[in-house]
């Protein structure tokens, strides 16, 4: 079977997704920004699942050059049965990517957009794309200036939420595009809930308090990753938001929420992102 790419495979949920996919007998390409960290995860997954087939690859989603190099370096005839856009960041302070975008937007949305569109020709019939969204989209706002890297407009949670909303809108548009083109591709989003991982560390005075009171109430990384893994293993389902119960065991597949489907900027952001990342159809 063709491998599944997992981005951010060195992270808390990424590594659990790799382990769960390996347990299900699926070969995985672990796409990691930091290869040393990725190698540690690769070894720990191999220790748990000795039969796992794991390839470790370098990929920085905050860099168009890195994304293009990743795709350009694919061996002749390489195909994938899935892509899990899991990597994400929540920058504490304003900074820009090497391409001049606000970094959270670059890593969480523009990078996955470019990667996914470049990889489409490498996905086999029946392949699955799963994008990791977040509850934060409930408070998110996008506007015509969302691509301008503006320090005044930046906010840690605000920019993170906007990037995840952009990713959700992309997921809806990609699913539509796949249907319009008659591609046998399943496109879904997964929301893990609130999960005890490094990304929820806010780098603020109240972190230590939250670590004591709040973190024990969160899902574990394995429970958080379960909804996305379930979606990756079920190519027959498309156009849904996947969630799981608190223990990461019972799964729900709901049609894409209307607040994404009918978002007024959905078509604009699809086209504008292609321009910003120099994606040629
Ligand atoms: N935890 C939650 O409550 C929660 C809720 C909703 C959604 N999510 C989403 O779930 C996904 C996984 O996050 P997590 O909670 O497992 O946190 P995590 O442990 O911090 O994992 C984040 C992963 O993204 C990678 N990453 C960051 N910047 C990158 C870049 N420029 N290029 C490539 N990879 C990069 C990290 O790589 P390094 O190891 O090199 O840093 C890490 O592997 C994220 O998309 C996050 O937004 C999390």
Question: Could you write out the DSSP letters of every residue in 123-168?
Answer: EEEEEEEEEE--GGGGG----TTTTS--TTT--HHHHHHHHHHHHH
Tell me which of 9, 87, 96 to substitute to probe ligand 1's pocket, judged by most ligand atoms within 8 Å of the beta carbon.
87
- Identify the pLDDT of residue 207: 78
What residues contact 88, with CB distance under 8 A and at least 6 apart? 8, 107, 108, 132, 164, 199
Host domain of residue 146: 4-276
242 has a pLDDT exceeding 80: yes
Whether residue 137 has its Cβ less than 6 Å from ligand 1: no
In a domain, 271, yes or no: yes
In a domain, 13, yes or no: yes
The pTM (predicted TM-score) of the whole model is: 0.96
Mean pLDDT is lowest, of 53-57, 195-199, 258-262, for 195-199
Give me the chain's average pLDDT, please. 95
- Identify the pLDDT of residue 198: 86
- Identify the pLDDT of residue 210: 81
Task: Evaluate the CA torsion angle 29, 32, 37, 39 in order and state its sign.
Answer: positive
Helices 111-119 and 156-180, interaxial angle, to 10°? 20
Q: The CATH number of the domain where 226 resides is what?
A: 3.40.50.720
Tokens matching residue 185: 């591709």
State how far the alpha carbon of 147 is from the alpha carbons of 99, 114, 131, 260, 269, in Å: 12, 15, 20, 19, 9
In a domain, 132, yes or no: yes
Q: What is the dihedral of CA 179, 171, 118, 125, to 10 degrees?
A: -40
In a domain, 118, yes or no: yes
The answer to whether residues 148 and 247 touch, using CB atoms and an 8 Å cutoff, is no
Whether residue 3 has its Cβ less than 6 Å from ligand 1: no
Tokens matching residue 198: 């490094």
Place of tokens 């200036």: 145
Q: How far is the centre of ligand 1, averaged over its atoms, from the C-alpha of 41 (Å)?
A: 14
Please choose, from the candidates 272, 261, 7, the residue with its C-alpha nearest in 3D space to the C-alpha of residue 132: 7
97 has a pLDDT exceeding 80: yes
247 has a pLDDT exceeding 80: no
- Identify the pLDDT of residue 8: 98
- 93: pLDDT confidence band, cut at 50, 70 and 90? very high
In a domain, 101, yes or no: yes
- Identify the pLDDT of residue 152: 93
Q: How far is the centre of ligand 1, averaged over its atoms, from the C-alpha of 132 (Å)?
A: 9
- 149: pLDDT confidence band, cut at 50, 70 and 90? confident
- Identify the pLDDT of residue 281: 72
In a domain, 281, yes or no: no
pLDDT in tens, 177-207: 999 999 999 999 999 999 999 888 877 887 7
- Identify the pLDDT of residue 3: 98
Number of domains comprising the chain? 1
Mean pLDDT, residues 148-176 taken together: 95
137 has a pLDDT exceeding 90: yes
Mean pLDDT, residues 50-59 taken together: 98
217 has a pLDDT exceeding 90: no
Tell me which of 64, 113, 131, 199 to substitute to probe ligand 1's pocket, judged by most ligand atoms within 8 Å of the beta carbon.
199
């Amino acid at each position: 079977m063709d491998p599944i790419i997992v981005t951010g495979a060195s992270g808390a949920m990424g590594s659990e997704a790799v382990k769960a996919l390996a347990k299900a007998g699926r070969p995985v390409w672990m796409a990691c920004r930091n290869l040393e960290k990725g190698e540690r995860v690769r070894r720990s997954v191999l220790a748990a699942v000795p039969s796992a087939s794991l390839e470790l690859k370098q990929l920085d989603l905050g860099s168009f050059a890195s994304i293009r190099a990743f795709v350009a370096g694919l061996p002749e005839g390489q195909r994938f049965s899935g892509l899990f856009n899991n990597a994400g960041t929540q920058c504490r302070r304003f900074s820009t990517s090497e391409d001049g975008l606000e970094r959270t937007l670059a890593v969480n949305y523009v990078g996955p957009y470019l990667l996914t569109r470049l990889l489409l020709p490498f996905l086999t019939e029946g392949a699955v794309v799963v994008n990791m969204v977040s509850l934060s989209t409930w408070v998110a706002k996008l506007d015509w200036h969302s691509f301008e890297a503006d320090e005044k407009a930046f906010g840690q949670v605000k920019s993170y939420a906007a990037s995840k909303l952009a990713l959700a809108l992309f997921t809806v548009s990609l699913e539509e595009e796949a249907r319009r083109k008659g591609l046998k591709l399943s496109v879904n989003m997964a929301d893990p809930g609130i999960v005890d991982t490094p990304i929820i560390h806010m780098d603020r005075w109240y972190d230590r308090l939250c670590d004591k009171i709040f973190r024990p109430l969160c899902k574990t990384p394995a429970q958080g990753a379960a909804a996305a893994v379930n979606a990756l293993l079920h190519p027959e389902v498309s156009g849904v938001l996947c969630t799981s119960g608190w223990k990461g065991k019972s799964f729900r597949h709901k049609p894409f929420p209307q607040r994404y489907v009918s978002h007024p900027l959905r078509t604009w952001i699809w086209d504008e992102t292609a321009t910003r990342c120099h994606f040629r159809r």
